[in-house]
Amino acid sequence: MVEPSEMRHSPAMRRLSMVAALVLASSCTGGGGQICSDVQCNAPTCCGGACSTDADCCRDTVCSTSGRCIPESCVGCGELGCLVDFAACDAVCIPPDRCGEACANDAECGQGARCEAFPSGSRLCVPDAFDDQCRACGAGGCTFSPVSCEVSCTEPPTIDAGTSIPDGGAPAAPSCTACCEPCQTDADCCAGAYCGESAMGGLFCFPVECRTCTYGCTFTCPG
């Protein structure tokens, strides 16, 4: 597994990120929207550390053949391995040489790739992990970029139900609580946020992305 150089939050460790979240919340001003932005999961503290087995590494990381803890996502990269940014604990699979090129069969795609038939009728070389990466996107499906050899999830259209525009043309006041604002339950928060406990006390609306970050998250409040 190749690695050159490597963020997360879970309900169990939610308090790790809430300190930063509350500081951000205290500096927010009104009238700047309802959704938080720049959401990033914090990196595992062990990423890049020395190891002998997976047991030496923290959650969401594994021990590489070179003896360093790397993102678990590298496992899905197959025989070509991955490129790792240890600072962010993020990994990118090394693309096959012929990735994105037209093909007729798997043999033409070479190591780490296979020939995939797309709905458009074209057949292109894709990474061996293509099916797993696309399946992880869920019902929304995925898109493939032949140029970058990247598989990305299709974003479903979002509708902000918290604000309406009456006949007068001016937006009505939000019927939900904006991200970074105090709340009582998840139902209080606008779409894209949930009600979570702050490390400094009290409940606030936080980005839903933070639910899946094992090691906490950082984000920018609206306003």
pLDDT along the chain (223 residues), means of 10: 33 33 34 76 88 92 92 82 87 89 95 92 92 83 89 67 50 74 92 85 89 83 84
Q: What is the pLDDT of residue 99?
A: 92
In terms of phi and psi (left: phi > 0; alpha: psi -120 to 50; beta: otherwise), the region of 111 is beta
Q: What is the pLDDT of residue 170?
A: 53
Residue among 138, 146, 117, 116 nearest 129 (CA): 116
Q: What is the pLDDT of residue 150?
A: 86
Q: Which two tokens stand for residue 23?
A: 């500081």
Asked whether the beta carbons of 48 and 68 are under 8 A apart, the reply is yes
Q: What is the pLDDT of residue 203?
A: 92
φ, ψ dihedrals at 23, nearest 5° = -60, -45
Q: What is the pLDDT of residue 12?
A: 30
Name residues whose C-beta falls within 8 Å of residue 177's C-beta, 6 or more positions apart in sequence. Answer: 183, 188, 189, 190, 193, 205
Cα-based angle 45, 77, 82 (whole degrees, multiple of 5): 55
| pTM of the model as a whole | 0.50
Q: What is the pLDDT of residue 157?
A: 55
141-146 — which CB contacts under 8 Å span 24+ positions? 144/116, 144/118, 145/100, 146/99, 146/100, 146/101
First-residue to last-residue Cα distance in the chain: 44
